[in-house]
Amino acid sequence: MGIHLDGNQYGKSEVRVFKVERAERDGRDDVRDLTVDVTLRGDFDAVHVEGDNTGLPATDTMRNVVYAFAAERPLDDLPAFGAALVTHFLGLGPVRAARVRLREHPWERLDGGTHPHAFQRGAGGTRVEWAEGDPEGVLHASGVEDLLVLRTTASGFSGFDRDRFTTLPETDDRILATLVSARWDHEPGAAGLEAAWPAVRDTLLAAFADHFSPSVQFTLHRMGRAVLEAHPAVERIHLSLPNRHHLPFDVARFGVEAAGAVFEPTTAPYGLIEATVERD
Active-site position among 19, 35, 39, 59: 59
Would you say the C-alpha torsion 159, 160, 161, 164 has a positive or negative sign? Answer: negative
Phi and psi of 176, rounded to 5°?
A: -115, 115
Q: Determine the angle formed by the axes of helices 193-209 and 78-90, rounding to 10 degrees.
A: 130
Nearest Cα to Cα of residue 69 among 50, 53, 82: 82
| 69 residue type, one letter | F
Task: Give strand pairing partners of 265.
Answer: 246
Active-site position among 12, 140, 186, 246: 12
Task: Give strand pairing partners of 30.
Answer: 21
| 47 residue type, one letter | V
Active site residue 245: yes
Active-site position among 140, 186, 245, 246: 245
Active site residue 48: no
Nearest Cα to Cα of residue 239 among 163, 140, 149, 172: 149
Nearest Cα to Cα of residue 33 among 118, 166, 127, 174: 127
Residue 86 CB: number of other CB atoms within 10 A? 26
Cite the active site residues: 12, 59, 245
